[in-house]
């Protein structure tokens, strides 16, 4: 067992440092290169495709190998996936209210929603790490996660995942926002993305939980975040899609996914 204070502090630093490094890197690269937001969005979409695939594996692909059993475990996985998707979809309706909320408030809300959606998966990671720290025989955190390679992998994952969040925020941001205000907004968004990891670690250190269910919910949220990411690639503006259209688009994506998932169950 590793002391809680040691594991919590090291895990928190290992989460916060790459998150803010990734976010600031995107901002610096954007200011230096003056690249159009759509190219950053395309890059973020590529990251998100792998993130979704990886999260689905963490969620045992929603129990697809069990076939049409729909026992408690499989049912929970599917329902939590749908819940994660619908939650982020409903939050995303704020994207259509730009004229009502103001550009600055609008952009920070979109960034917060994306950070929250990505953070659901982070909560599951925190649960796994907390349980590992409490039950390991290793003397250090590095040894507990399999050595330096495990630490580097986690660092890079958080760094790259944070770029997805910041790209969503920047795509919705006003160009005339002061640097000072943008730094404050990014600080808030980074914390919202990081806090679920810390909470998960603290909870599971004393009360281990099955992280698979949160990975399922996180996968659903990630699929919704993909809709946030893809729009700027084709030059779409938030005000181009009203509430009704956004909901129909989102439900169409969900329906397509669930239908093919249902077809895959017959293979089992």
- Identify whether the C-beta of residue 154 lies closer than 8 Å to the C-beta of residue 20: no
Please report the pLDDT score of residue 69 as a whole number.
Answer: 85
Confidence of residue 4 (pLDDT cuts 50, 70, 90): very high
Measured between alpha carbons, how far is 105 from 103 in angstroms, rounded to an integer?
A: 6
- Identify whether the C-beta of residue 223 lies closer than 8 Å to the C-beta of residue 83: no
- Identify whether the C-beta of residue 229 lies closer than 8 Å to the C-beta of residue 41: yes
Cα–Cα distances (Å) from 164 to 113, 140, 230, in that order, read: 12, 31, 11
- Identify whether the C-beta of residue 168 lies closer than 8 Å to the C-beta of residue 225: yes
Please report the pLDDT score of residue 232 as a whole number.
Answer: 79
- Identify whether the C-beta of residue 18 lies closer than 8 Å to the C-beta of residue 162: yes
Residue with tokens 């594991």: 7
Confidence of residue 96 (pLDDT cuts 50, 70, 90): very low
Please report the pLDDT score of residue 189 as a whole number.
Answer: 95
Measured between alpha carbons, how far is 247 from 151 in angstroms, rounded to an integer?
A: 40
Confidence of residue 100 (pLDDT cuts 50, 70, 90): very low
Q: Rounded mean pLDDT of 147-166?
A: 94
pLDDT tens digit sequence for 200-245? 999 999 999 999 999 999 999 999 999 888 877 766 555 566 778 8
pLDDT tens digit sequence for 184-197? 899 999 999 999 99
CA 15 from centre of chain: 13
pLDDT tens digit sequence for 20-41? 999 999 989 988 998 888 899 9
| pLDDT score of 254 more than 50 | yes
Measured between alpha carbons, how far is 213 from 172 in angstroms, rounded to an integer?
A: 31
Measured between alpha carbons, how far is 77 from 5 in angstroms, rounded to an integer?
A: 32
- Identify whether the C-beta of residue 264 lies closer than 8 Å to the C-beta of residue 64: yes
């Amino acid at each position: 067992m590793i002391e809680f204070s040691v594991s919590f502090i090291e895990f928190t630093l290992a989460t916060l440092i790459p998150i803010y490094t990734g976010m600031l890197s995107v901002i610096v690269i954007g200011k230096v290169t003056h690249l159009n937001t759509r190219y950053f969005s395309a890059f973020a979409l590529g990251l998100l495709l792998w993130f979704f695939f990886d999260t689905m594996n963490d969620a045992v692909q929603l129990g697809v190998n069990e076939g049409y059993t729909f026992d408690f475990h499989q049912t929970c996985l599917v329902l939590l996936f749908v819940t994660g998707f619908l939650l982020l979809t409903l939050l995303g309706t704020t994207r259509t209210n730009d004229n009502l909320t103001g550009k600055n408030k609008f952009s920070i809300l979109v960034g917060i929603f994306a950070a929250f959606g990505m953070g659901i998966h982070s909560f599951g990671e925190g649960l796994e790490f907390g349980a590992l720290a409490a039950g390991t025989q290793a003397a250090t955190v590095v040894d507990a996660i399999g050595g330096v390679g495990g630490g580097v992998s986690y660092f890079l994952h958080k760094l790259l995942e944070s770029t997805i969040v910041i790209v969503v925020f920047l795509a919705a941001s006003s160009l005339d926002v002061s640097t000072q205000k943008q730094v404050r907004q990014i600080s808030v968004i980074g914390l919202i993305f990081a806090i679920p990891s810390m909470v998960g670690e603290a909870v599971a250190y004393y009360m281990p939980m099955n992280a698979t269910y949160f990975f399922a919910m996180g996968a659903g949220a990630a699929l919704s975040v993909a809709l946030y990411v893809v729009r700027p690639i084709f030059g779409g503006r938030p005000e181009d899609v009203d509430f009704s259209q956004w909901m129909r688009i989102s439900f169409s994506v969900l329906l397509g996914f669930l239908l093919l998932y249902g077809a895959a169950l017959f293979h089992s």
